[in-house]
Amino acid sequence: MIIRNAKRLQRLTEDILDVTRIESQLLKPNKERFNLNDAILSSVEDCRNQIEKAHGNIRLLFEPKDIIIEADKGRIVQVVSNLLNNAVKFTRDGTVYVKAEQYADQVIVSIKDTGQGIDPEILPRLFSKFVTKSFSGTGLGLFISKSIIESHGGKIWAENNNIDGKRGATFYFSLPIVDHRFSVFQLSD
């Protein structure tokens, strides 16, 4: 119990520091090239204990090829972990689906659950500070996730589902893909 509460306090402290960085405009991504699918798999492994406690399933849906992006790997893992942990927390019995799809100039990651869904009252301000329906959450995770994704030139959004009579929610985020194979050079006279 002491270790669990110490970890919760550490997460809260880190979230407050992130909010301070965001509001001071000091949250700058340290970009590197990495495989997004590997980062997602890493996040799933990190939350496996929570998944086992919730007796839910996580099903991964990926394109067979690697998705290479240029972003702050630690921060993108933070976003994926936050969305996965929320999906597991609000899905008592069901499945969480994770999907990454690459398009010409962007990648879209979706995390869909078969849980209780998002309260329609909260949905319009879901990514604001301190918005939560959970007694165990602070309402900072989605605000921080939004700031991280936007600092990378992407977007984040959420919607309620209706899957075979089950509610659930899907969270999406997009990130731009920069193709470094071609460079544009301007010739001067």
Per-residue pLDDT of 48-72, as tens digits, reads 766 776 666 677 565 657 899 999 9
The Cα–Cα gap between 143 and 128 comes to: 5
Please give the residue that has the higher pLDDT: either 26 or 122. Answer: 122
How much is the pLDDT for 163?
62
In a domain, 114, yes or no: yes
In a domain, 181, yes or no: no
Q: How does pLDDT run across 146-176, given as a tens digit for each residue?
A: 989 998 999 999 999 976 666 899 999 999 9
How much is the pLDDT for 186?
44
In a domain, 127, yes or no: yes
CATH number at residue 127: 3.30.565.10
In a domain, 74, yes or no: yes
In a domain, 6, yes or no: no
| 99 C-beta neighbours (distance < 10 Å), count | 17
**27-41, 71-85, 90-104, 170-184: segment of lowest average pLDDT:** 170-184
Burial environment of residue 28 by CB neighbours within 10 A (0 to 12, 13 to 18, 19 or more): exposed
Distance, C-alpha 110 to centroid of its chain? 9
Q: Which domain holds residue 50?
A: 30-176
| 189 C-beta neighbours (distance < 10 Å), count | 2
Res. 183: pLDDT tops 60: no
The Cα–Cα gap between 137 and 135 comes to: 6
In a domain, 81, yes or no: yes
In a domain, 184, yes or no: no
**Which residues sit opposite 96 in a β-bridge?**
58, 113
pTM of the entire predicted model:
0.80
The Cα–Cα gap between 35 and 110 comes to: 16
The size of the chain, in residues, is 189
Instruction: Report strand pairing: 106-113 vs 95-102.
Output: antiparallel
Res. 189: pLDDT tops 60: no
How much is the pLDDT for 174?
97
Res. 2: pLDDT tops 90: no
The Cα–Cα gap between 177 and 58 comes to: 26
Res. 80: pLDDT tops 90: yes
Q: What is the DSSP secondary structure assignment for residue 5, as one 8-state letter?
A: H
In a domain, 21, yes or no: no
Tally of domains in the chain: 1
The Cα–Cα gap between 82 and 47 comes to: 10
